[in-house]
Amino acid sequence: MQDFTAARTSDTPDELWLVEHAPVYTQGQAGKPEHLLNPGNIPVVKADRGGQVTYHGPGQVVAYVLADLRRNGRFIKELVHQLEEATIATLTFYGIDHACRKAGAPGVYVPLQGELAKIAALGIKVRHGCTYHGVALNVDMDLSPYDGINPCGYAGLRTISMASCGVKAGWEEVASTLAGQIIERCGLWVK
């Protein structure tokens, strides 16, 4: 992502990368070591995105958004809002119709037993007006690695997946739906 962003010109089309990672904790630039409670055998990788620590693993769709904000006059807060909207629309498509934002805490949440549980983490980096990193949506995954961290720097924050909300959908299907929503809502200039 860094190499792609560094090599971009004003004519480089935007790209959307959809990936599924092996188990890994990523710690953002503001990441504090006290939020790593018990990483066990899961590697911890420093990332140059915003935010604290999160987990990526099998069964999670990670959508990396490589966009030129300057090309269409957008600001990072707009893109974050649009990524959250795209994720909420994806969840609504699958029948999770109470997904929402949480003030001051980027990402997407679902009401669960009187509190908000995080279903999608979001972290973006902007360099020379271009973005990379993106959003990670929990589809059908082992959620126990979240017990080894304070997700996104919040002690006791519950995490949830689409599967634990009763959705039976495969990774590729959800990735395709999320990609369509991101392209539609985020104004990506793709070929």
Q: Spell out the per-residue pLDDT of the chain, length 191, in tens.
A: 999 999 999 999 999 999 999 999 999 998 999 999 999 999 999 999 988 999 999 999 999 999 999 997 899 999 999 999 999 999 999 999 999 999 989 999 999 999 999 999 999 999 999 999 999 999 999 999 999 999 999 999 999 999 999 999 999 999 999 999 999 999 898 86
Q: Is 107 exposed, middle or buried (0-12, 13-18, 19+ CB in 10 A)?
A: buried
| Catalytic, out of 130, 152, 165, 186 | 152
> At CB < 8 A and 24+ separation, what contacts does 155-161 make?
157/117, 157/118, 158/112, 158/115, 158/117, 158/118, 159/117, 159/118, 159/119, 160/110, 160/112, 160/117, 160/118, 160/119, 161/59, 161/119
Q: Can you state the angle between helices 76-93 and 171-186, rounded to 10 degrees?
A: 140
**In the chain, domain spans:** 2-186
Gyration radius (Cα) of the chain, Å = 16
Query: Which pTM value belongs to this model?
Result: 0.96
To the query of whether residue 130 is one of the catalytic residues in this protein, the response is: no
Q: Fold for domain 2-186?
A: BirA Bifunctional Protein; domain 2 (3.30.930)
